[in-house]
Amino acid sequence: MRFIFLFTFLVTTVFTFAQRNCGTALYAARFENEIVTQQINSSYNRDTIEDEILTIPVVVHVLYNNNAQNISDAQIRSQIDVLNEDFRRMNVDAANTPEAFKVHAADSRIMFCLAQINPEGYAAKGIIRKYTSTRVFDLNDGMKYNAAGGDNAWNSKKYLNIWICNMGSNAIGYASQPGGQADRDGIVIQYNAFGRIGTLMPNFNKGRTATHEIAHWLGLRHIWGDNECGNDGINDTPQQSGYNNNCPSFPTLSSCSADANGDMFMNFMDYTNDACMNMFTHGQKTKMRGQFAINGPRNSFMNSFACDSSMSTAAPLPDDTISAVKTIAPSFKIYPNPATNELNVEGLNGFDLKGQALKIYSATGVLQFSKSNLISTEKINISHLTSGVYFVSIISGKDRKIIKLIKQ
């Protein structure tokens, strides 16, 4: 037993630390047919304007099985900073692009924010934390579903969903393609390859895994076209015989190099270390921005305003307290609803109200009523509430359930 454990540990360590392991191509192969059928129906709003800044609201779902995986807000914010540098070519290491390739380097004029408004219109900070009993996720999307130990996506027509979790040796990241199924649309990143502060894998410590995966989410392929001397569909990226690892020096020639400049190994879509990649090309920029055009699969983002906190209609709900203890997700019912004077509350699906706390908020998020140490079948006096819409909330561990209440 000890041998097996040790062996597993070693294999995991080797695969996790040595070279980039992006699961996107493998993942995409499973959904080829689906993408073709779902790329229609995308005329939402307006076309893009040439070179306008496109800003994408991001929600980060942190799924943790231990404290190390519950990465800090600061680590998450450092990743947003990296994205806004890399996609705007404001990264300090842009200076490292070889002279011969600088003419191809582009500012994509795409930016990112942590969502300031949640799908219900409440002010938000764009970060969700959730304990999971799943120790290792694979490429089968479990992290994207509550029922599988993950967290359901926010509306992927309006938000870029990023799931942070432990994928062990399966991959350090993977992305869905534009036009795929909405509830699994987004990217997944290994918790210790996200951001540029915190405890990170040595070769993947500058936030470039998310840069790479978001570029997949925006339609880019690997620079070698996932084939020997393959085609990535971009005119200004040179043909490469395959991917590059680690940190090559310029020029690096391969069997199908078009000229003496060789491979563009510093492109974000190669497999080099974070410290050695620093550019997208004009062709890649055109491809990524094309997703947002009037007939593009991500045109709905032209109608997303979640980066602007002034558009929220309600104050934030209180933060959940962080708990590393697994609890049964709260499930309960209230009746009658609408109610006038008395509200009955009962647990459902094995969830016992006993010892739990209940809170009632106004529609603007102001706490109106609170009761702790509930009994299993509660009767709450609500005669003091004025008529209107309220939210009844029960928090258990890191899970919360909210039910809308109409007070007559």
Q: How far is the CB of 272 from Zn ion (least distance, A)?
A: 12
Q: How many whole angstroms separate alpha carbon 208 and alpha carbon 192?
A: 12
With tokens 């258990």, the residue in question is 396
Q: How far is the CB of 215 from Zn ion (least distance, A)?
A: 8
CB of 215 or CB of 353, closer to Zn ion: 215
- In the DSSP assignment, the letter for residue 194 is S
In this complex, which beta carbon is closest to Zn ion, that of residue 131 or of residue 174?
Answer: 174
Nearer to Zn ion, 171 or 314 (CB): 171
Tokens of 119: 């799908």
Any residues with CB less than 8 A from the CB of 133 and at least 6 apart, and which? 65, 149, 326
Beta carbons within 10 angstroms of residue 64's beta carbon: 20
Q: Which residue of the chain is nearest Zn ion when measured via CB?
A: 22
220 scored as a contact of Zn ion (CB under 5 A): no
x/- contact string, 3-22, with Zn ion (CB under 5 A)?
-------------------x
Question: Can you tell me the distance from the alpha carbon of 191 to that of 287, in angstroms, rounded to the nearest whole number?
Answer: 28
Least separation in angstroms between CB 269 and Zn ion: 7
Tokens of 15: 């695969």
Task: Give the residue, chosen from 16, 21, 24, 304, that forms a contact with Zn ion under the rule CB under 5 A.
Answer: 24
CA distance 154 to 59: 8
Dihedral (C-alpha) 199, 204, 208, 209: value to the nearest 10 degrees? -90
Residue nearer to Zn ion on the CB measure, 24 or 190 = 24
Smallest separation (angstroms) from Zn ion to the CB of 213: 7
Cα(74)–Cα(61) distance, integer angstroms: 15
For Zn ion, the closer CB: 172 or 385: 172
From the candidates 85, 213, 346, 378, which is the catalytic residue?
Answer: 213
- The answer to whether 281 contacts Zn ion (rule: CB under 5 A) is no
52 is catalytic: no
Q: How many residues does the chain have?
A: 408
Find the shortest distance in angstroms from Cβ 82 to Zn ion: 16
CB of 289 within 8 A of CB of 280?
no
Cβ-contact 185, 156 below 8 angstroms: yes
How far apart are alpha carbons 119 and 57 in whole angstroms? 11
* Closer by beta carbon to Zn ion, 188 or else 353: 188
Give Cβ neighbours of residue 47 (< 8 Å, ≥ 6 apart): 293, 294, 302
Report in angstroms how near the CB of residue 220 gets to Zn ion at its nearest. 9
Nearest residue (CB) to Zn ion, 123 versus 172:
172
E strands in 65-200: 110-114, 127-131, 160-165, 173-175, 187-190
For Zn ion, how many residues bind (rule: CB under 5 A)? Answer: 2
Query: Do β-strands 127-131 and 399-407 pair in parallel, antiparallel, or remain unpaired?
Result: unpaired
Residue 216 per-residue DSSP state: H
Residues lying near Zn ion in the complex (CB under 5 A) are found at 22, 24
Please identify every residue annotated as catalytic: 213
